Amino acid sequence: MRLKTACLLVAVVLILTIPAYAEQTRGISVNTDLSFSNYVAACSVDIYAESLTDSISVTMELWRGGTKISDWSTTGTWHVTMSETANVTRYRTYTLVVNYSINGVAKTPVSIDRYYG
């Protein structure tokens, strides 16, 4: 009888420690990168939404001053990763701008500047 009680107690403890992923929420995370090599800019963004069911729409733009060099778009659910390249010239400053929305609600754009020397 003691063995059955101990086994039942262990089973209940294990069940209670299993996380309920469908109920968890996380903060929004946006990571961008802009690097250069051999006259090519490597642009990337990695976005995690708060919930596993959140819809993400993202547009990534590469700018040199007031001139848009290129742009790319994608969509996904909960996690979106995008990596693209564009030809660039040296001795200029470039800006990578990421515009995104989650569940149709526009979020504050994220941008980074890098000099290619």
Domain boundaries of the chain, sorted by first residue: 22-116
Mean pLDDT of 46-51: 97
> Residue 21 and residue 106: Cα distance in Å, rounded?
26
Q: Average pLDDT, whole number, for the chain?
A: 88
Buried b (16+ CB within 10 A) or exposed e, 49-70: beeeebebbbbbbbbbeeeebe
| Beta strands, E only, the chain | 29-37, 40-48, 55-64, 67-77, 79-87, 92-102, 105-106, 110-116
Pick the CATH number of 22-116 from 2.40.30.260, 1.10.472.10, 2.30.40.10, 2.60.40.10: 2.60.40.10
Query: What pLDDT digit, counting tens, does each position of 8-37 carry?
Result: 555 544 454 545 444 456 799 999 999 999
Average pLDDT of 55-64? Answer: 98
